[in-house]
Amino acid sequence: MNTYAVILAGGIGSRFWPMSRQDHPKQFLRVFGNETLIQGTFGRLQGLIPSDHVYIVTNDRYVTRTHEQLPAIPSDHILAEPMGKNTAPAIMYAAVKLHALDPEAIMIVLPADHVIRNIRRFHEVLRVAIEAAHEPDALVTIGIKPTHPETGYGYIQFDGHIDEIDVETPRVYHVKAFAEKPNLETAERFIAAGDFLWNSGMFVWRVDSILHAIQKYLPELYRAFEPLMEAVGTDRENELLKQAYEQAPKISIDYGVMERAEKVYVVPGDFGWSDVGDWRAVYELSEKDELGNALKANAVALNTARCLVESTSSERLIALVGVRDLVVVDTDDALLVCHRDAAQDVKKVVDYLHAHQMTRYI
């Protein structure tokens, strides 16, 4: 049976402002080392999925950049969304395309902008998930063994206990429920209960399984794409794609399908995963000196601890004196100075810039 990977790369990532911009979102940033996040996501599939079985779903305006960053991917595998409508339509679009190739193909869905440290364990988890996904109508998610009561992630309740997870020998569990991002109290209860995993946003299923599920739980979305489904490969494809997106509801696959479906499984893993949700996560994942500073710039730090400095310039000097727990991000036309604990609020800067028509900085 054929297995394909679909990388979802339509996001804007405004929490990475000023490094991320409308024309240069998070997945195209070199956050760690020389690879961009999307290059890392693609690279992690080596040895599991051949390059010509990888598809990218991204926004129209990012197609050129995607080509540049991933020259190994065939042009017609970069699926351009005419507008962003969250994950359910993106997955529907990819499923429609793959359905024309092989309705029973296995489809792995991966966000473009996460990091994973232990690729071997990651592959093991995916192999088990792929195996489980052969069952008709099975929807398999990848869960992450949680380490702390994180409020930035959704959770998956499963019919096992996190203490019994053998990270070297992954196995499949039934999913009992999905939970949205909780408050701290709820997150602490989840961790204490022991039967909650972090929702990684990675899924594995047969193409026909997800199409059935969307038909059942998101019929409006299914109907929007039905004309396209019959026109894949014809000269009406682009026109019908645009119509499909115009009619499609804006909804996530978690909320629209996973929370309601019946045969939902999870394979828990522990492979150094992070969704790199904000600058704080970048700090945590970065190499630091003995004072806890990650200075990725031409920087001088005096009496300074636990700071992250990112810069697009190797020339400009950045001096930190007597400061703690800051994120400093320096770009050509904009500078961010943010407390590490306020990293989630960086998107509010982008909101502010929108509200004040300061679009040149967005």
**Binding site residues, a second copy, CB under 8 A:** 17-18, 300, 302-303, 315-324, 326, 328, 330, 333-339, 341-342, 345-346, 348-349, 352-353, 358, 361
**Nearest approach, Cβ of residue 358 and a second copy (Å):** 7
In the bound state with a second copy, the residue whose beta carbon lies nearer, of 192 and 355, is 355
**Nearest approach, Cβ of residue 36 and a second copy (Å):** 23
**Nearest approach, Cβ of residue 302 and a second copy (Å):** 6
CB 225 within 8 A of CB 92: yes
Q: How many residues does the chain have?
A: 362
**Nearest approach, Cβ of residue 20 and a second copy (Å):** 13
In the bound state with a second copy, the residue whose beta carbon lies nearer, of 72 and 337, is 337
- CA 145/CA 265 separation, integer angstroms: 15
**Nearest approach, Cβ of residue 301 and a second copy (Å):** 10
Q: Which of 218, 141, 207, 214 is nearest to 173 (CA)?
A: 141
| Helices 207-217 & 87-101 angle (0-180, nearest 10) | 130
Sign of CA dihedral 211, 216, 217, 218: positive
**Nearest approach, Cβ of residue 290 and a second copy (Å):** 18
| H-helix or E-strand spanning residue 120 | helix 119-133
CB 221 within 8 A of CB 214: yes
In the bound state with a second copy, the residue whose beta carbon lies nearer, of 21 and 121, is 21
Burial of 333 by CB count in 10 Å (0-12 exposed, 13-18 middle, 19+ buried)?
Answer: exposed
**Nearest approach, Cβ of residue 321 and a second copy (Å):** 4
In the bound state with a second copy, the residue whose beta carbon lies nearer, of 192 and 321, is 321
In the bound state with a second copy, the residue whose beta carbon lies nearer, of 8 and 338, is 338
In the bound state with a second copy, the residue whose beta carbon lies nearer, of 192 and 302, is 302
In the bound state with a second copy, the residue whose beta carbon lies nearer, of 263 and 316, is 316
In the bound state with a second copy, the residue whose beta carbon lies nearer, of 78 and 362, is 362
- Tell me which DSSP letter residue 160 carries: S
In the bound state with a second copy, the residue whose beta carbon lies nearer, of 128 and 350, is 350
Is 249 in a helix, a strand, or coil? Answer: coil
| Helices 237-247 & 87-101 angle (0-180, nearest 10) | 150
CB 54 within 8 A of CB 4: yes
- How far, in Å, are 15, 132, 299 from residue 20 at the CA level? 8, 37, 21
Burial of 23 by CB count in 10 Å (0-12 exposed, 13-18 middle, 19+ buried)?
Answer: exposed
CB 15 within 8 A of CB 21: no
**Nearest approach, Cβ of residue 340 and a second copy (Å):** 9
**Nearest approach, Cβ of residue 336 and a second copy (Å):** 5
| Helices 87-101 & 219-229 angle (0-180, nearest 10) | 40
